[in-house]
Chain A
Amino acid sequence: MTVAAGIGYALLALGPSLSLFVSVISRKPFLILTLLSSTLVWLVSLIILSGLWRPFLPLKANVWWPYALLVLSSVCFQEALRFLFWKLYMRLEDVLDSFADRISRPRLFLTDKLQIALAGGLGHGVAHAVFFCLSLLTPAFGPATFYVDRCSKVPFFLVSAIIALAFVTIHTFSMVIAFEGYAKGNKVDQVIVPVIHLSAGMLTLVNFASEGCVIGVPLLYLVASLTLLHCGKMVWQRLIESQNQSGSTLR
């Protein structure tokens, strides 16, 4: 993989997040801090998970069920962590609101809350892309590239970048869905997030079959676009609602 190809793969995986970062997150320092802390949370979760699974590694390359178990446990753990993350955010929101009251500024707007959720999700997504895709790129610069047997048509790095992009999308926007779901007590939204995450994780198991990535990756993108669609619809509704409620306070 040459340097140009490496940069290309990195941009493929992280390009959308980069533009999201530049256009939304980097404008507000607080969002950057949110992003960093959520990335840290994800990293810690990954370290704990790998600590738990370390005794069983390396898994046998020809049986698929240990991998299924691994994905299942990881998703459950991370979803539990997401709930904790939200609890933490609730406390933070209280602090912010009381701070706003004290200096007689308006409390957090709906858009602010959505942006915080977006930054939190983006942190998870970026962490995913960095650890699962980018970190494998850097040691691999050189004249050759690498193919895995089970997906022999496409270079390994390209597939992992494409998959990472799907996961970045899923992580980013499912966090928005989850936060809104928790905030409004909407059971459907609360349940749909773990379901999305789990199904996306399970879909990568399809790659285990020989040439399975031809089917697995498009299915993954289906899940990603459904997430995006659901998130967009929900945010749109919320914006309309709050506009109707409070007239012009919304920017």
Chain B
Amino acid sequence: MESSSILDSLGVEIIGVMAPVSICMFLVVLLTYSLSVTSDPQIRTAANLIYIENPSDSATVKLEGSLENAIVFVVLVAAVTFVLVLLFYYNFTNFLKHYMRFSAFFVLGTMGGAIFLSIIQHFSIPVDSITCFVLLFNFTVLGTLSVFSEGMPIVVRQCYMVVMGIVVAAWFTKLPEWTTWFILVALALYDLVAVLAPGGPLKLLVELASTRDQELPAMVYEARPTVSRSGGGGSSLRVLVGGGGGGVSDSGSVELQAVGDGAATHNLDYNAVAVMDVDSVDGVGRSREGHSASPVSSEHSRELGSVGNRESVAEEEMSPLVELMGWGDNREEPRGLAEESDNIDRGIKLGLGDFIFYSVLVGRAAMYDLMTVYACYLAIISGLGCTLILLSVYNKALPALPISIMLGVVFYFLTRLLMEPFVVGMTTNLMMF
């Protein structure tokens, strides 16, 4: 142990967040590649209520139409979020939880079913309808159970979070091009406002949850399968794990939150929740998505245990790179916290909405070229990295969408407009550097 270098453990939690996001994006790209030919192009969702894009429309019509679509979508999302805040305010927590389970069931069952169906058709997989139905039903039920129950292994929960992200994102990639871009940008802006502005719905939710010291059911991905470390810290940690999935839903918002509550032994957790309300009618292309709320929340919680310092060395060794970077700027704060409690534990949580909208962006890029996919992937991942670093500096809930989405969109268009002709011109002459 003495001889092992600090390099071995540094950055584990960042990779813990980035790896599932990467897997999700990769699978969505694969899906869009292999299915884009067969799936029907137009779907009707909350995201294109007003205007149905037609490739032959003029640019102005598309611009106005997609702008309207985006505004309507964001307004819907905001409205749903406020409803959730209200429900949470009046303590309808159980209703929210069951509602989340219900939407998870429908997302997996109908949207997931539709995707499996098109995979089966596309690759001509020989499977009869009864087997298929039984498999799908089992898959869905396991998914529903895993989302909020405490008994499930964390791996199963993590897998299902990724699967739900993939399913919803694959669905969203069927939106027409202009609408997709406008919605992504609009959601990023909305996320920024909702989390940071005073009176923003997500901010309200966070404050509400932390003043009440209550958990909300949320669809969040927990980066770290928290293992209990040392004595006292362990048990409350487990509470965190069990309850952390609570959420409130909000559509499309994602947040990263770091909560440092020095005094409490209890962790703070904040959840953003998203609701996926999908009333899809039948598994097929006609299904309407009500408002899709993608839930998202990310939670960064820090648990302060009151316990023993014997493990403090090991713990600090594990302390996140994020924190390390943060120390450059405010050395004092983490120090202070560390003094209050010897035992610091943290796990980064990322909302499902992050998964979804990152993957939507990459999936949309995949319809153009691999070059744009790779550029967007790098942009999003680095945006996520920046957000994590900011998280360690500010130590409060942060929206995870804005930086990544903005970088992703910018890189997409730069790659498409500038780099593509350059690179293709070079390589077709076999010239490289």
Contact = CB atoms under 8 A, between A and B. Distances in A.
Given A50-B423, A208-B429, A139 B7 contact: no
Interface string B385-402: 100000000000000000
Interface stretch (B8-16, B74-82, B133-141, B343-351): B8-16
Interface in A29-74: 29-33, 36-37, 39-40, 43, 46-47, 49-51, 53-54, 57-59, 61, 67, 70-71, 74
Given A29-B11, A47-B419, A136 B5 contact: no
Contacts of B414: 47, 51
Given A103-B317, A134-B370, A137-B370, A37 B426 contact: no
A201 interface: yes
A132 B370 contact: no
A51 to B, nearest CB: 5
B313 interface: yes
A207 B431 contact: yes
Contact of B316 (A53, A103, A163, A207): A103
B5 A112 contact: yes
A199 B425 CA distance: 20
A195 interface: no
Interface residues of A, number: 73
A135 B430 contact: no
B125 interface: no
B432 A204 contact: yes
Interface stretch (B40-48, B56-64, B146-154, B371-379): B371-379
B126 interface: no
B332 interface: no
Interface residues of B, number: 51
Interface string A153-165: 0001001100110
B6 A105 contact: yes
Contacts of A67: 426, 429, 431
A100 interface: yes
Contacts of A100: 5-6
B123 interface: no
Nearest to B430: A207
A83 interface: no
A10 B38 CA distance: 26
Interface string B316-343: 1100010011011000000000000000
Interface in A142-175: 148, 150-151, 156, 159-160, 163-164, 167
A219 interface: no
A116 B430 CA distance: 31
B422 A54 contact: yes
Contacts of B12: 29
Contacts of B325: 95
B118 interface: no
Given A148-B430, A204-B430, A105 B370 contact: no
Contacts of A134: 370, 374
A29, A139, A216, most chain B CB atoms within 10 A: A29
B8, B369, B415, B430, most chain A CB atoms within 10 A: B430
19 contacts: A29-B10, A29-B11, A36-B18, A37-B385, A39-B378, A47-B419, A57-B422, A71-B431, A108-B6, A109-B5, A131-B374, A132-B426, A134-B370, A135-B369, A135-B423, A136-B427, A139-B369, A148-B428, A150-B430
By Cβ-Cβ distance, the 4 closest A-B pairs, closest first, are A50-B422, A201-B433, A135-B371, A207-B430
Interface of A: 27-33, 36-37, 39-40, 43, 46-47, 49-51, 53-54, 57-59, 61, 67, 70-71, 74-75, 78, 95-96, 99-100, 103-106, 108-109, 112, 115-116, 128, 130-139, 148, 150-151, 156, 159-160, 163-164, 167, 197, 200-201, 204-205, 207-208, 213, 216, 249, 251
